[in-house]
Amino acid sequence: RWQALRDRRIRGIWISGDLDQPFGDTGKTKGQALAEAGLEVELQLMESRYGHDAFLLETGQINRHIENFLQID
């Protein structure tokens, strides 16, 4: 599905919660699948006791990951 994007230079960050489930039947997370499809993806793990709701509650962690990503050239 993401193979068509390989011809374009796309750089992104994938912030995954430590409780994220594997994507489909591959046993991989979505971020891992994007990276293996050839996209330039920085994978970051966010640890939280809030599960999926961490994306709503752990704004400090998310902000740090994004700030670090944007500083890399």
Dist CA 9 CA 39 (whole Å):
8
- The pLDDT of residue 3: 65
Q: What's the predicted TM-score (pTM) here? A: 0.62
- The pLDDT of residue 63: 92
List the chain pLDDT tens, one digit each, 73 residues: 566 666 667 788 888 776 655 555 656 777 777 888 778 888 888 888 877 777 788 889 889 999 998 886 5
Dist CA 66 CA 39 (whole Å):
18
